[in-house]
Amino acid sequence: MKRRRPKLVVVGSINMDLVLRCEHLPLPGETRHAIDSREVSGGKGANQAVAAARMGAEVAMVGRVGSDGFGIQLKENLKQAAIDTSFVWETEQCSSGLAVVMVDRVGENSILVSSGANGRLMPDDIQQADAVIAQADMMVIQLEIPVETVVAAVDAAKRAGVPVLLNPAPALRDLPERLFSVDILCPNQNEAEILTGQAVETVEQAKRAALKLLERGVRIGVVTLGSQGVVVATRDRTELSMEAGVAVHVPSIEIQAVDTTAAGDAFAGALATFWSERMDIREACRHACVAGALAATKLGAQTSLPWRGEVVARINEL
């Protein structure tokens, strides 16, 4: 039987990334020479949209670009990734979102972001996108747009009975309580520490953090741990490979990291796609871990995102 492509709607940021490779990240007050530089389409929202499309999902993007040259380029890039851009609006007299990404020789990065048009995505825009939200199998959203817009989007999805995956990045210490009612919340270690108020350095600490997210109202808590994989906990007894209220560690694969910039976005896009295909949450996390790891083996944001065939082939080798 032919697999049905899930329909995802991604609400979030669209940036141009200026990527600078260097031997070591500069210290405060220090000037270093870059090895090279390049322009790469990015933004957490756009990255996760492209990641999901490469995993086989049918994706619509909701966001804003500026009235500059980057805006034209960013929207065209989404179209080339087979993403519906009907709800990506151009914002007059405003620059597009911009990120300066510095990557060292071991793949660690430091990022400075200017929101630009992303900061102009308003709750009224969400109302205009109600129809595409209602038709989706899942919404994917992050925090690189105004938080009131995130709340409006989550509320719109809930009214339509559409599950929501929230990647709480960058993390907010005062995340609105309503955003803890999402179906999947997937922070990384640092974000989980901010959201739970407890250290998240080990797998055991991540398990406690994932369970803490369930206490806050999250249906499925997923804490990503980089090379250590992820920890997942669920309140839903219908997740076949999981016992409700128990946190489980899902390991990743060994890779040689080149650039970790979009690894988390690859994970989120893959997790949303595979879970929307009715794959149980532990197996969906396993596939998403492979997607995130493969993304870290290449330079750049969207240029590093793997295709479904690459992920499945690697899973079959395990």
Residue 206 tokens read as: 């991540």
265 assigned to active site: yes
In DSSP terms, which residues pair with 113 in a beta bridge?
99
In this structure, are strands 184-185 and 97-103 parallel, antiparallel, or unpaired?
A: unpaired
End-to-end CA distance of the chain: 25
Instruction: List the catalytic residue out of 17, 84, 183, 265.
Output: 265
Output the DSSP codes for 82-130.
T-EEEEEEEETT-PPEEEEEEE-TTS-EEEEEE-GGGGG--HHHHHHTH
Give the H/E segment covering residue 73: helix 69-80
Other CB atoms within a 10 A radius of the CB of residue 190 amount to 12
Q: Which residue has the tokens 């989007």?
A: 153
Measured over the CA atoms of residue 153, residue 74, residue 51 and residue 103, the dihedral's sign is negative
- 81 touches 51 (CB < 8 A): no
Q: Phi and psi at residue 120, in whole multiples of 5°?
A: -100, 5
Catalytic residues: 265
